[in-house]
A = this chain, B = another copy of it.
Amino acid sequence: GQQGSADPTLARGECRVALDPVTAGKLARHLDSAIADSGDAIVHVESGAGRHAHFDDAAYAEQAGVAIVAEQDIPAARAAADLILCVRTPSESQINDFREGAVIVALMTPYQNPQLIQTLAQRGLTSLCMEFVPRISRAQSMDALSSQAAVAGYHAALLAANESSVFFPMLTTAAGTVRPARVVVVGAGVAGLQAIATAKRLGAQVWAYDIRAAAREQVESLGAKMIDTGVDASGEGGYARELTDEERAQQAEALARHMGDAHVVISTAAIPGRPSPRIISREMVEGMKPGAVLVDLAAEGGGNCELTQPGARVEHGGVTVLGPLDMASSLSVNASEMYAKNLFNLLTPFMKDGELSLDFEDAVLGPMRLTEAGRITHDDVRARAEDAA
């Protein structure tokens, strides 16, 4: 295929931090208000950890019970930690700094990182995978995939509007009226709904495509229209079931028809830990208007579109296909605050008298555990790690 051009604004790298200063302070007080009030630190933040999210060391140090760890003291602080909170899985060498039996929590992308998960097991760490928070009501406030997808969906709509050669809103000026842009959002999960809401706020006409008929109510409550494909693919856990070839063709035809009228397409159909489903073919892009923009939010998993190149901009027959990475990360302040609250809500029920005591019989914690006491405890992840070894 053709070569896309790498674009630094489409791949900013990780800018989030696992705790913002306010949540760090709340965590310290929750763990032990007596100690926090005495001035002793309970929560230790590595110097510069919040830099890319614009939280400086001083903002953390202001919080009772929170201390900044100077660079030269980081290895010792890591070795002493009982609980390690991260955004992404630490590197091999970082993992080697931690002590046996410590608990580590992160967005682990375990299927993409089998070697690192193996290392976490070998080092005797207990690891919790934030992607595996179950989709049950009680766990909504802990669901980092949802909170981060909301950020990414909002940002995808802004990126699309910023790249578009037409206005999103209707505009009435002395020189005539500009009609609102037509936007198609593929996938009406958390990211898709937030993209829909944002495009609607900006005044666009929005159509949503989702193979789960159950998405209709939410789509319509945002003022968007559902593309009718005549196929229902609702499955377990809020994700979609496998479809027959005929059903797929019927869906593709309905989607292609709406894409041909659209100024902007935003695709958001990502399945955590798996390659993104290929929904948008080269032909469907070739059926779009010259000047149209496609933002593929599933680029991290390879993309929903055949032409997507992760982190790059592809021009194809007058259509621009963007494959942004780290979309949640680029709203680093709010994304970090929301992630920190997810961690706080997840862990504080298991903190008592200054101690962390995890219960893996718990309906939320159980499915999240990847490694403990030297082995990979999660069946699917262990199978993947064994395949990779």
Cα–Cα, bound, A272→B53 (Å) = 38
CB distance from A133 to the nearest CB of B (A): 11
Q: Contacts of A318 on B, CB cut-off 8 Å?
A: 54
CB distance from A74 to the nearest CB of B (A): 22
Q: Which residue from B158, B171, B289, B345 sits with its C-beta under 8 Å from A161?
A: B158
Q: Does A126 contact B (CB under 8 A)?
A: no
Chain B residue nearest to A158 in the complex (CB): B162
Chain B residue nearest to A335 in the complex (CB): B165
B290 close to A165 (CB less than 8 A)? no
Q: Does A44 contact B (CB under 8 A)?
A: no
Q: Contacts of A54 on B, CB cut-off 8 Å?
A: 165, 289-291, 318
Q: Does A251 contact B (CB under 8 A)?
A: no
* Chain A positions 56 through 95: 1 when the CB is less than 8 Å from some CB of chain B, otherwise 0: 1000000000000000000000000000000000000000
Cα–Cα, bound, A291→B165 (Å) = 28
Q: Contacts of A147 on B, CB cut-off 8 Å?
A: 173-175
Q: How large is the interface on A (under 10, 10 to 19, 20 to 34, 35 or more residues)?
A: 35 or more
Q: Could you say which of A34-42, A234-242, A299-307, A336-344 contacts chain B? A: A336-344
Count this chain's copies in the assembly: 2
B166 close to A331 (CB less than 8 A)? yes
CB distance from A6 to the nearest CB of B (A): 12
Q: Contacts of A53 on B, CB cut-off 8 Å?
A: 165, 291
Q: Which residue from B165, B341, B342 sits with its C-beta under 8 Å from A334?
A: B165
Q: Contacts of A330 on B, CB cut-off 8 Å?
A: 165
Q: Contacts of A338 on B, CB cut-off 8 Å?
A: 173, 175-176, 178
Q: Does A4 contact B (CB under 8 A)?
A: no
Q: Contacts of A173 on B, CB cut-off 8 Å?
A: 146-147, 150, 338
A169 close to B201 (CB less than 8 A)? yes
B342 close to A56 (CB less than 8 A)? no
Cα–Cα, bound, A7→B199 (Å) = 26
Q: Does A374 contact B (CB under 8 A)?
A: no
Chain B residue nearest to A203 in the complex (CB): B201
B202 close to A167 (CB less than 8 A)? no
A residues 177-200 near B (Cβ < 8 Å) are: 178, 198
Cα–Cα, bound, A365→B53 (Å) = 53
Chain B residue nearest to A140 in the complex (CB): B174
A165-B330, A201-B201 known; A290-B56 Cβ under 8 A: yes
CB distance from A48 to the nearest CB of B (A): 13
A residues 43-57 near B (Cβ < 8 Å) are: 53-54, 56
Q: Does A207 contact B (CB under 8 A)?
A: no
CB distance from A56 to the nearest CB of B (A): 7
* Chain A positions 274 through 287: 1 when the CB is less than 8 Å from some CB of chain B, otherwise 0: 00000000000000
Q: Does A372 contact B (CB under 8 A)?
A: no
Cα–Cα, bound, A146→B54 (Å) = 37
B154 close to A167 (CB less than 8 A)? yes
B165 close to A333 (CB less than 8 A)? yes
Cα–Cα, bound, A57→B162 (Å) = 26
Please give the residue numbers on chain A whose beta carbons come within 8 Å of chain B beta carbons, in ascending order. 9, 15, 53-54, 56, 140-143, 146-147, 150-151, 154-155, 158-159, 161-162, 164-167, 169, 171, 173-176, 178, 198, 201-203, 289-291, 318, 330-334, 337-338, 341-342, 345
Can you list 5 A-B pairs with a CB-CB distance of less than 8 A?
A53-B165, A56-B290, A140-B174, A147-B174, A173-B338
Nearest 7 A/B pairs, CB to CB:
A54-B291, A140-B174, A175-B341, A54-B290, A165-B333, A141-B174, A158-B162
Additional A-B contacts beyond A155-B162, A166-B333 (12; CB < 8 A) = A54-B289, A140-B174, A142-B175, A147-B174, A150-B171, A158-B162, A169-B201, A175-B345, A201-B202, A201-B203, A291-B332, A291-B333
